[in-house]
Structure 1
Amino acid sequence: MFHNLLVLWGVLFGFFTVCVYSKTNSQDVSALNVMYNSFNSKSKLSGWKSSGGDPCGDSWKGIKCSSSAVTEINLSDLGLSGSMGYQLASLSSVTSFDLSNNKLSGDIPYQLPPNAKHIDLSNNGFTNTVPYSVSQMSDLETLNLGHNKLNGQLTDMFNKLTKLKQLDLSHNSLTGNLPQSFAKLSSLRKLYLQNNQFTGTINVLLYTPVDELNVENNRFTGWIPNDLKSINIKYGGNSWSSGPSPPSPPGVRRNRGSGSGSSGGGKSSVATGLTIAGIAFGVLFLIAILIAFFSRKKRSSNSHLLEEDRLNERKSFSMFSSRDLTKDLHSDYNDDVLVTGLKSMDSPAVIDIKPVQKSPSTGFRSLSGRLQSFARRSTSVKAVSYSLSDLQIATSNFAPARLLGQGTIGRVYKAKYENGKILVVKKIDSSLFQGAPPQEFSDIVVSISKIRHANISELVGYCAEHGHNMLIYEYFRNGSLHEFLHMSDDYSNPLTWNTRVRIALGTARAVEYLHEVCSPSVLHKNIKSSNILLDIELNPRLSDYGLATFHQRTSQNLGMGYNAPECTKPSAYTLKSDVYSFGVVMLELLTGRQPVDSSKPPAEQCLVRWATPQLHDLDALSQMVDPALRGLYPPKSVSRFADIIALCVQREPEFRPPISEVVQQLVRLVQRSTMNMREDLGLSRHSSNVSSMREDLQSSRRLTDF
Structure 2
Amino acid sequence: MFPNSQTGLSTGLFGIFLISISILVIHVHSKTNSPDVSALNSLYSSLNSPSQLSGWKSSGGDPCGDSWEGIKCSGSSVTEIKLSGLGLTGTMGYQLSSLTSVTNFDLSNNNLKGDIPYQLPPNAHRIDLSKNSFSGMVPYSISQMSDLERLNLGNNQLNNQLNDMFGQLKKLTVLDLSYNSFSGNLPQSFKSLSSLKKLHLQNNQFSGPIDVLASLPLNDLNVKNNKFTGWIPQELEDIDNLETGGNSWSDGPAPPPPPGTPPISKSEGKSKGEKKSSTSGVAVAGIGIGILVVLAALVALLARKSKTPSSHYLEDERFSQSRTFTPLASQELSNDRRDDVRMDFRDLRSFDSSSSLDIKSLQKSPSIGMKPPPPPPCSKSFSDNEFANRPNVKRSVSFHAVAYSLADLQAATGNFATGRLLGEGSVGRVYRAKYADGKVLAVKKIDSSLIQGLGADKFSEIVMNISKLQHQNLADLVGYCSEQGQNMLVYEYFRNGSLHKYLHLSDGFSNPLTWNTRVKIALGTARAVEYLHEVCSPPSIHKNIKSSNILLDSELNPHLSGCGLATFHQRTSQNLGAGYNAPECTMPSAYTLKSDVYSFGVVMLELLTGRMPYDSKKSRPEQCLVRWAFPQLHDIDALEKMVDPALRGLYPPKSISRFADIIAQCLQSEPEFRPPMSEVVQSLVRLIQSSPSMNGRGDFSLNSSWHTDDFDY
Matched positions, count:
500
Three-state SS of the structure 2 residue aligned to 1:40 is coil
Aligned mates of 1:665, 1:334 — CA distance in 2: 25
- 1:225: which partner in 2? 233
Three-state SS of the structure 2 residue aligned to 1:79 is coil
Aligned mates of 2:694, 2:336 — CA distance in 1: 18
Q: Comparing both chains, which one has the higher relative contact order based on Cα–Cα distances under 8 Å and sequence gaps of 6 or more?
A: 2
Three-state SS of the structure 2 residue aligned to 1:590 is coil
- 1:582: which partner in 2? 603
- 2:45: which partner in 1? 37
**Structure 1 residues 498, 639: CA separation in 2 closer, same or farther (over 3 Å shift)?**
farther
Instruction: Please give the per-residue CA displacement for 1:92-137, whole angstroms capped at 9, x wherever unaligned.
Output: 1111111111121111111111111111111111111111111111
Q: What amino acid sits opposite 2:446 in the alignment?
A: L
1:423 aligned to which of 439, 442, 446: 446
Query: Could you tell me whether the CA contact under 8 Å between 1:641 and 1:669 is conserved in 2?
Result: no
Q: What amino acid sits opposite 2:685 in the alignment?
A: E
Query: Could you tell me whether the CA contact under 8 Å between 1:129 and 1:152 is conserved in 2?
Result: yes
1:239 equivalent in alignment to 2:261: no
Query: Could you tell me whether the CA contact under 8 Å between 1:105 and 1:127 is conserved in 2?
Result: yes
Three-state SS of the structure 1 residue aligned to 2:97 is helix
Query: Could you tell me whether the CA contact under 8 Å between 1:103 and 1:124 is conserved in 2?
Result: yes
Query: Could you tell me whether the CA contact under 8 Å between 2:115 and 2:693 is conserved in 1?
Result: no
1:668 equivalent in alignment to 2:699: yes
1:189 equivalent in alignment to 2:186: no
1:165 equivalent in alignment to 2:173: yes
- Aligned identity (percent) is 38
- 1:366: which partner in 2? none
Query: Could you tell me whether the CA contact under 8 Å between 1:460 and 1:473 is conserved in 2?
Result: yes
Q: How do 1:687-698 residues align onto structure 2 when only pairs under 5 Å count?
A: none
- 1:532: which partner in 2? 548
Three-state SS of the structure 2 residue aligned to 1:233 is strand
Deviation at 1:544, TM superposition (A): 2.9
Aligned mates of 1:645, 1:592 — CA distance in 2: 19
- 2:638: which partner in 1? 617
**Structure 1 residues 500, 236: CA separation in 2 closer, same or farther (over 3 Å shift)?**
closer
Instruction: Please give the per-residue CA displacement for 1:155-196, whole angstroms capped at 9, x wherever unaligned.
Output: 121122222111110011111111122122222111110111
Q: How do 1:390-539 residues align onto structure 2 when only pairs under 5 Å count?
A: 423-424=446-447, 444-447=465-468, 461=480, 472=489, 498=505, 526=542, 532=548
Instruction: Please give the per-residue CA displacement for 1:516-547, whole angstroms capped at 9, x wherever unaligned.
Output: 999x9888974865573699xxxx99543368
- 2:157: which partner in 1? 149
Aligned mates of 2:686, 2:519 — CA distance in 1: 20
Instruction: Please give the per-residue CA displacement for 1:590-642, whole angstroms capped at 9, x wherever unaligned.
Output: 27469xxxx999xx9877642322475378539xxxxxxxxxxx945586699
- 1:359: which partner in 2? none
Q: What amino acid sits opposite 1:612 in the alignment?
A: L
Instruction: Please give the per-residue CA displacement for 1:16-57, whole angstroms capped at 9, x wherever unaligned.
Output: 331112211111000001111212361222211111111111
Query: Could you tell me whether the CA contact under 8 Å between 2:115 and 2:697 is conserved in 1?
Result: no
1:76 equivalent in alignment to 2:84: yes
**Structure 1 residues 11, 121: CA separation in 2 closer, same or farther (over 3 Å shift)?**
same
1:205 equivalent in alignment to 2:213: yes
Q: What amino acid sits opposite 2:246 in the alignment?
A: G
- 1:59: which partner in 2? 67
Aligned mates of 1:329, 1:667 — CA distance in 2: 19
Structure 2, unaligned stretches of length 5 or more? 1-6, 265-275, 280-324, 371-424, 431-443, 492-497, 534-539, 552-557, 570-579, 586-590, 663-682
Three-state SS of the structure 2 residue aligned to 1:60 is coil
- 2:684: which partner in 1? 653
Deviation at 1:14, TM superposition (A): 2.7
TM-score, normalised relative to structure 2: 0.54
Query: Could you tell me whether the CA contact under 8 Å between 2:651 and 2:694 is conserved in 1?
Result: no
**Structure 1 residues 64, 206: CA separation in 2 closer, same or farther (over 3 Å shift)?**
same
Deviation at 1:245, TM superposition (A): 4.1
- 1:467: which partner in 2? none
Aligned mates of 1:581, 1:383 — CA distance in 2: 40
Structure with greater helix percent = 1
Aligned mates of 1:616, 1:120 — CA distance in 2: 40
2:143 aligned to which of 135, 139, 142: 135
2:224 aligned to which of 209, 213, 216: 216
Instruction: Please give the per-residue CA displacement for 1:58-93, whole angstroms capped at 9, x wherever unaligned.
Output: 121211112211111111222222211111111111
Aligned mates of 1:41, 1:648 — CA distance in 2: 26
Q: What amino acid sits opposite 1:150 in the alignment?
A: L
Query: Could you tell me whether the CA contact under 8 Å between 2:173 and 2:198 is conserved in 1?
Result: yes
Query: Could you tell me whether the CA contact under 8 Å between 1:531 and 1:543 is conserved in 2?
Result: no
Q: How do 1:542-553 residues align onto structure 2 when only pairs under 5 Å count?
A: 543-545=561-563
Aligned mates of 2:203, 2:327 — CA distance in 1: 28
Instruction: Please give the per-residue CA displacement for 1:287-335, whole angstroms capped at 9, x wherever unaligned.
Output: xxxxxxxxxxxxxxxxxxxxxxxxxxxxxxxxxxxxxxxxx9635x997
Three-state SS of the structure 2 residue aligned to 1:532 is helix
**Structure 1 residues 620, 137: CA separation in 2 closer, same or farther (over 3 Å shift)?**
closer
Three-state SS of the structure 1 residue aligned to 2:94 is coil
Query: Could you tell me whether the CA contact under 8 Å between 2:137 and 2:162 is conserved in 1?
Result: yes
* More divergent stretch after superposition (195-204 vs 604-613): 604-613
- 1:96: which partner in 2? 104
Aligned mates of 1:383, 1:662 — CA distance in 2: 49
Deviation at 1:380, TM superposition (A): 9.5
Deviation at 1:648, TM superposition (A): 3.9
Deviation at 1:205, TM superposition (A): 1.4
Q: What amino acid sits opposite 2:250 in the alignment?
A: S
**Structure 1 residues 440, 4: CA separation in 2 closer, same or farther (over 3 Å shift)?**
farther
Deviation at 1:201, TM superposition (A): 1.2
- 1:330: which partner in 2? 327
Q: What amino acid sits opposite 1:613 in the alignment?
A: H
1:560 equivalent in alignment to 2:582: yes
Aligned mates of 1:342, 1:225 — CA distance in 2: 38
Aligned mates of 2:453, 2:75 — CA distance in 1: 49
**Structure 1 residues 508, 459: CA separation in 2 closer, same or farther (over 3 Å shift)?**
farther
Structure 1, unaligned stretches of length 5 or more? 253-260, 265-327, 354-369, 390-410, 434-438, 465-469, 475-480, 485-494, 552-557, 564-568, 623-633, 688-706
Deviation at 1:250, TM superposition (A): 3.4
Query: Could you tell me whether the CA contact under 8 Å between 2:503 and 2:607 is conserved in 1?
Result: no
Aligned mates of 2:67, 2:561 — CA distance in 1: 44
Q: How do 1:252-267 residues align onto structure 2 when only pairs under 5 Å count?
A: none
Query: Could you tell me whether the CA contact under 8 Å between 1:515 and 1:522 is conserved in 2?
Result: no
Q: What amino acid sits opposite 1:38 in the alignment?
A: S
Aligned mates of 1:573, 1:54 — CA distance in 2: 42
Query: Could you tell me whether the CA contact under 8 Å between 1:561 and 1:606 is conserved in 2?
Result: no
Instruction: Give me the CA root mean square deviation.
Output: 6.5
Three-state SS of the structure 2 residue aligned to 1:33 is helix
* More divergent stretch after superposition (523-532 vs 506-515): 506-515
Query: Could you tell me whether the CA contact under 8 Å between 2:91 and 2:114 is conserved in 1?
Result: yes
Instruction: Please give the per-residue CA displacement for 1:403-461, whole angstroms capped at 9, x wherever unaligned.
Output: xxxxxxxx976699xxxx9524777999xx9xxxxx996653334699999xx697763
